[in-house]
Chains A and B, each alone.
Chain A
Amino acid sequence: MLSCIQSYGLNGISGFAVQVQVDIANGLPCYETVGLPDAAVRESRERVRSAIKNSGFAFPVCRITVNLAPADMRKEGSVYDLPIAIGLLEAAGQLSPKCADKMVFLGELGLDGSVRAIDGVLPMAIDAFSSGYETIVLPEGNAEEAAYITGAKILPARTLKQVVECLRNNGEFEPYPNKVWDTTEIIHSTDFSEIRGQQGAKRAAEIAVAGGHNLLLIGTPGSGKTMLARSIPSILPELTFKEALEITKIHSVVGATRESGGIIRERPFRSPHHGASAAALIGGGQQALPGEISLAHFGVLFLDEFPEFRKDVLEALRQPLEDGVVTITRASANATYPADFMLVAAMNPCPCGNYGSRISQCRCTPFQIQRYQSRISAPLLDRVDLHVEMTEVGYSDISSKAAGETSLKIRARVNSARQVQRVRYEDVGIFFNAQLPNRLIKTYCALDSASEAMLRQAFTALKLSARAYHRILKVARTIADLEGEEKISSAHIAEAIQYRSLDSNAIGGMHG
């Protein structure tokens, strides 16, 4: 007897259809799995055998062949345990033929017949549903994240026995309730109102978020760089359902959704340690898994101690920063992941950290300071529009200063500035000022004579580089958008010039 069960595999963050074919023939008892299975798939034999036996069914003593079609694509993981078990039972005649047609099965089996949660359920379920399979049987532990697929009938499987009984019962079951995307306010762990003082840095963060710019924070230890960075997600616009689904897909692939249970509702904030390898940051490994930059998709990638990252790791950031996607190619796998993140980097001004501090003395030589700062290459710096120096906060500041504006208030301004940009760039196909290509800057960042003069003065007085020119214009554009003004004025340019610390030779005042 032959049976065919539908299942799905994972390639990057999209699923592909896998048909599990089970054939039972007379002959010496044996069990063969074909169709490029990896070790985990091949081991499914033992799990399936025990699970069937321990669920009270009979394991057929025949010649069993399991094929995972298409046979030329690699199959990984334990997702095929459940479809193989169902296929076996059907082929053995313990289930009526064709009872599992038009259903998709995903799940790992335990020896006791329990169905265990797996990684990557959301992308597979989304693709199954969009190819016309309405009923999806998946582990109960993954039901929450799949429940957001409106219209899909989700059977949360607890045990193999439960699934079989449901199939014997003409496939009738109580589907898992679909969930609706609700936009109730998420409580962020940190709020801008908790940051005392630091008006300048907060303002820079607001501008960066409003215009989709990347941000570099420079400051002595304890000046609040990390706290500021952690608060940035709270002023980013609320996630839309589409964005949330995409984020969840990526996180589902690496299994990060299991604990959180279901869809990701908060913008990601990723802060990898500076020892991270290029593969950890960009993505990689045998199965070409997503890296930190993809996990930070639609969120914030925070790189603390920026110059301490390995140089090749930092340079690898350049291309995804530009494209918003990253393609990872490995011998056995090839995947493209979205990586549209906001880069927030933080660094000390010098190796000892105290350069420019008014409290502690810096012990570095000018040469050391220069070498430390030049660890970040110019092309990379080129992709960071705002550099802000943060001043240390004394005790009196922390204790005495009034709470600042709340994130909610700032976010309202950010939202309206982003709306202005969306409308303006409708025909160009970009969303933010930061994405403006150089050829369009002249069109969208036209200057009056006063601002032009101000910019020219900046070049001579501050010894700015040519690449700083475009950056200042883009940032000035965002400042104007935040104020709701159509034209860039000289005041906007003047403010934008303040966010260019690393463009001149070194951090302010070094060039005496």
Chain B
Amino acid sequence: MDNLSRKDQLWLWLNGVIGHHVLLFEQLLSTYNEVEEIYMLAQKRKISMFLRWGEAFAERICAAANETQIECQINWLKTNKASILPLYSSKYPELLKEINHPPSLLYVKGKLDASPKLPIAIIGMRKSTPYGEAIALHLGAELTKSGATIISGLARGIDSLAAKGALSVEAALFPTVAVLGCGIEIIYPSSNARLYYEIIERGAVVSEFLPGTRPYRENFPIRNRVISGLSRGVVIVEAASRSGTTITANHALDQNRDVFAVPGRITDESSAGPNLMIQQGEAKPIFCAADILCEYGLTAGPAKPSARPDLTGLTQAQRLVVEQLTSGEKSADELCENLSLPIAEVNSTLTSLQFSGIIKQLPGRVFGL
């Protein structure tokens, strides 16, 4: 990042001055050919602005056309250990270049592969259910094991779990990319701070928004087109019927990407999105990672989600509890009732099973595998 070429610097400058404004950037470039030229004219205050964008922009560009402004932006990159990828760069992701109006400039933290082997986006709702979380985690890990790179939005719920799944594969060289809807140095939601740093460590966090941009809600649909743009396929794990996730899915269809959907129960609001896409023939229903991988000529390990847990070495009571839970989540009271065991024994059995990682506790003292 130390050796930004003059062209890089000027791109950084122009992008920074006009803000996140892809269309204006494109228009300026088509009018003036080179950013260098824009800079020179701006210094002489000779940028005439097309009526559509107004004089204010021209004024702003002219006022900012000095070396201090450039310095300032370069310094910011240095202090924040971030780098940039201008659209013309050879390191700019190949797939992203294909979409309509790709971001003129990407801010990057970590290392971004220009053409990863198989970039797959896993997206879904923030208020995920345990079912969706388990699937996202599983798919994230299984796809990464077969060499895929998981693209997600670092949101709560499905996005986070997918990234966590990808990071759990120690051997992966380039497990995951997170695309932010705010400035690249802003961690949103703040509860994902640990995940954010882990992703920077082993993958990349990218954003097209200027440093310091808050996570305004209108940013996210703009960001979503980059998530689908970076990937070859988009997996929808859980989503409401009209939501940010379905927006991303529509972007994916527009960008000619494959769309996969994880089916859920037809009564679940959280599965309405993917179920609907399957019904309308927009998405391929998938049951395991292999269903995705086979589309790209890859094979997966034998793992299937929710395989029966290993019962060896368990006590009689533990075995009974696990068998109860294979048919669905149950509360402690239901277990107590169904097994006719005293509550004291059920409680201590649950603790030991929790410790061995076979079951987990869900809100409301409900337990599941």
Contact = CB atoms under 8 A, between A and B. Distances in A.
A203 B347 contact: yes
Contacts of A507: 363-364
Given A198-B333, A366-B156, A389-B365, A509 B344 contact: no
A99 B156 CA distance: 86
Interface string B346-369: 111111101101001111111000
A391 B364 contact: yes
A429 interface: no
Given A199-B337, A366-B156, A391 B366 contact: yes
A203 B343 contact: yes
B348 to A, nearest CB: 3
A334 B362 CA distance: 50
Contacts of B349: 494
A319 to B, nearest CB: 32
Interface string B324-349: 00000101111011000001111111
Contacts of B361: 508-509
A197 B347 contact: no
A361 B350 CA distance: 26
B133 interface: yes
A454 B352 CA distance: 8
Contacts of A494: 347-349, 351-352
A507 B331 CA distance: 14
A416 to B, nearest CB: 16
A349 B364 CA distance: 8
Nearest to A350: B363
A358 B364 contact: yes
B321 interface: no
Contact of B355 (A199, A390, A461, A479): A461
Given A197-B337, A361-B269, A366-B156, A355 B348 contact: no
Nearest to B156: A366
Contact of A458 (B160, B329, B355): B355
Contacts of B215: none
B130 A200 contact: no
Nearest to A390: B365
Interface string A181-207: 000000000000000011110110000
B10 interface: no
Interface string A424-467: 00000000000000000000000000000010011001100000
A96 interface: no
Interface string B146-190: 000000000010001100000000000000000000000000010
B344 A220 contact: no
Interface string A456-486: 0110011000000000000000010001000
Interface string A216-230: 000110000000000
9 smallest A-B Cβ distances: which pairs? Answer: A356-B364, A356-B363, A494-B348, A494-B351, A508-B361, A389-B365, A391-B331, A509-B362, A199-B343
